[in-house]
Amino acid sequence: MSRILLISSNTVVDPMPTYPLGMALVAAALEKDGHRVEQIDPVAQKMDLMVLAETAVNKFNPDLIGISVRNIDTVDSCASKDNRHLGYVKKLVEHIRTLTPKPVVLGGPAFSIMPEAILSYTGADFGVVGEGETLVRKLVQDMARGIAVEKIVWPEQKLMDAPDFLPPHYDERFVRSYHDESGMLNYQTKRGCPYNCNYCTYPLIEGKKIRYQEPGFVADNLLEMKLKFGVETLFFTDSVFNDPNEHYLEVALEMIRKKCGMKWAGYFRPEKISSEKLDILKRSGLYAMELGSDAASDTTLKGLNKSFDFQTIIEMNENCNKAGIPCAHFFIFGGPGETRETVEEGLGNIKGLENCAVFVFSGIRILPGTGIHKIAVEQGVVSGTDDLLEPRYYFSPGIDKKSMDDMIISSFKNRRDRFFPPEKGYMRMHALKIFGLKGLLWDMAINFQKPLKK
């Protein structure tokens, strides 16, 4: 059996520190095969990653090093500093090279988006695209048997069948750190996204068919987290929690039946959810929703290939208000079809959304394989051969970015429940942390602050 060092290369803590769930799943799979696994995480361990990696390599003497790459950049066109994260991964690989000749394998969601470019840029030996708990196991097995391994290991078939779901191997040291910082842990109940939003990479990373964990399996794992670590608040990291087959309701009902007694939040798609269903979700512990509303007018919703209109967003927001569930809407301005007129219309629509938080992004990060990439190439924004390692953003030809950003800032002036640019919102949340507050934090703007009018 092999000694395998797994490294979470993520150092991003905005808007909140997020447990490296992918690494925990790969660790669980490798340990099931009898391998000895060591995990390191600079966010949880609060140490420089280069120092952590050097110490671990020297003490653990691994046969293979796996690096999880979560982010390419911040996807924020307004970021005031260099927002590219891959340079740090490249530096990490180069540092490991000075410590050991053992192979370095990259994986994670960011790597799966542009594997060839990232592997070439960082100089790692191998990479796995897709579900690491399946492919890393196979790669390690093939290496042990002397079977030639391709530089990039691709899934043998499309992501259609449910993987062998295992409980994540949460490291107690990391759990304690993340819980102290954010007051919550994260869990994923299913994979895959059937929607076709033209900016999104989830269907590329997880497949278009939704693959579910059994509700009982989910509830049992949550109870284990609570009993073992004392975790009482969690965030479901499913790409969309309220799936069309209503598996999410089965999970909620099982949480009620097994008396999980945990508070939770998750990503939701704006759609009509009856008061009866919202009641089930609340009884299971739902305390806040993050809504992928995405665009603020019917024209720009269509431009993003959304299948709902703004009236649906209004109704979702009203239903959340009636149920007493704080919600946050996430919008993108500048996408296909955006003009000065649609910006004005969109900002007016947002003003009509009462008792909620609103986060806005300016422009769309162009990523390969997405619909927005195809549009950007057709419009000459990027070339078809651009590797897109450097952040490139799409803005509609019908809008000027600076004028649009100024309009958003002016509209949100004196509103404590509106966040733009994203960095400004993160700064507000850090201020709340100083007072010992934990959790999503944006919900504090709804629960404890009335919006200030001009």
Q: How far apart are CA 454 and CA 451, in angstroms?
A: 10
Residue 352 has pLDDT above 50, yes or no: yes
pLDDT band at 160 (very low <50, low <70, confident <90, very high): low
Q: Which residues contact 264 (CB under 8 A, 6 or more apart)?
A: 233, 234, 235, 236, 284, 285, 286, 287
Separation in Å, CA 197 to CA 201, 257, 267, 276, 449: 9, 35, 15, 29, 33
pLDDT band at 449 (very low <50, low <70, confident <90, very high): very low
First to last CA, the chain: 66
Residue 384 has pLDDT above 70, yes or no: yes
Residue 152 has pLDDT above 70, yes or no: yes
DSSP strands (E only) in 63-103: 64-68
Q: Which residues contact 191 (CB under 8 A, 6 or more apart)?
A: 131, 159, 163, 206, 207, 210, 211, 238, 239
If phi > 0 it is left, if psi is from -120 to 50 it is alpha, else beta; for residue 359 that is: beta
pLDDT band at 161 (very low <50, low <70, confident <90, very high): low
The arithmetic mean of pLDDT across residues 5-31, rounded, is 93
- Burial classification of residue 146, based on how many CB atoms lie within 10 Å of its CB (0-12 exposed, 13-18 middle, 19 or more buried): exposed
pLDDT tens by residue, 26-59: 999 999 999 999 999 999 999 999 999 999 999 9
Looking at the DSSP assignment, which residues form a beta bridge with residue 268? 291
Residue 453 has pLDDT above 60, yes or no: no
Q: How much is the pTM? A: 0.93
Nearest to 18, CA basis, from 210, 175, 150, 159 = 175
At residue 158, the pLDDT reads 62
pLDDT tens by residue, 265-322: 999 999 989 999 999 999 999 999 999 999 999 999 999 999 999 999 999 999 999 9
Give the range among 187-191, 321-325, 424-428 with minimum mean pLDDT.
424-428
pLDDT band at 83 (very low <50, low <70, confident <90, very high): low
Whats the size of the chain, residue-wise?
Answer: 454
Residue 15 has pLDDT above 90, yes or no: no
Q: Which domains does the chain have, with CATH numbers?
A: 3-153 (3.40.50.280), 183-447 (3.80.30.20)
At residue 283, the pLDDT reads 98
Q: How far apart are CA 31 and CA 418, in angstroms?
A: 45
Q: Which residues contact 293 (CB under 8 A, 6 or more apart)?
A: 270, 313, 329, 330, 331
At residue 435, the pLDDT reads 64
Give the range among 390-394, 399-403, 422-426 with minimum mean pLDDT.
422-426
Residue 376 has pLDDT above 90, yes or no: yes
Residue 450 has pLDDT above 50, yes or no: no
- The Cβ of residue 371 has, within 10 Å, a number of other Cβ atoms equal to 15
At residue 162, the pLDDT reads 57
pLDDT tens by residue, 225-238: 999 999 999 999 99
Residue 423 has pLDDT above 90, yes or no: no
Residue 80 has pLDDT above 70, yes or no: no
pLDDT band at 157 (very low <50, low <70, confident <90, very high): low
At residue 210, the pLDDT reads 94
Nearest to 352, CA basis, from 322, 378, 313, 392 = 313
At residue 1, the pLDDT reads 80
What distance lies between CA 64 and its chain's CA centroid? 27
Are residues 264 and 235 in contact, defined by beta-carbon separation less than 8 angstroms? Answer: yes
Residue 454 has pLDDT above 50, yes or no: no
At residue 212, the pLDDT reads 95
- The mean pLDDT value of the chain amounts to 92
Looking at the DSSP assignment, which residues form a beta bridge with residue 3? 36
Nearest to 172, CA basis, from 35, 26, 39 = 39
